[in-house]
Amino acid sequence: METFLNAESTMIILFIIVACGFGARKLKWTDDRFDTGLTKLIMNISCPALILDSVLSNTNLPDAGFILNILVISVVGFAVLLGVAWVAPRIYRTPHESIGVHQFNIAFGNTGFMGLPFIAGLFGSDALFYATIFNL
């Protein structure tokens, strides 16, 4: 029950942040230039800092063998996803001109903006460390 409440509060916080951004854009408080700068700030400073914090604040890091196992599992997982991404658009009869977009969306999730902060908020820095290894 506690995990559900923690997930709920994390989602509410993220939803409020997204709603504030949406409202600011609708009120013309932000523009494309601001959005580009904010994206660069998040992707080049905030996310790496969040990842670094997950490593530096973690007092019980696993050994190199365990990390290598996680990395191998993630490579196998991505290989399976690439196979699914190749087959799925053909099964769903996706128009030829958009097959590449569908394949990319299936194979690679957008974990940078919402995924990593959600994992950090819900499961803590230990889980963020593993998610980062998986995303490598």
Give residue-wise pLDDT tens across range 16-37.
988 999 999 999 999 999 989 9
Confidence of residue 3 (pLDDT cuts 50, 70, 90): low
- Tens of pLDDT, residues 95-105: 989 888 989 88
Give the whole-angstrom CA distance, residue 55 versus residue 57: 6
Burial state string for 51-71 with b = 16 or more CB within 10 A and e = fewer than 16? beebeeeeeeeeeeeeeeebe
CA-angle at 80, arms to 89 and 73, nearest 5°: 155
Model pLDDT for residues 51-87, shown as the tens digit of each residue: 888 888 777 778 889 889 988 998 998 899 999 999 9
Give rounded-to-5 percent helix, strand, coil for the chain: 85, 0, 15
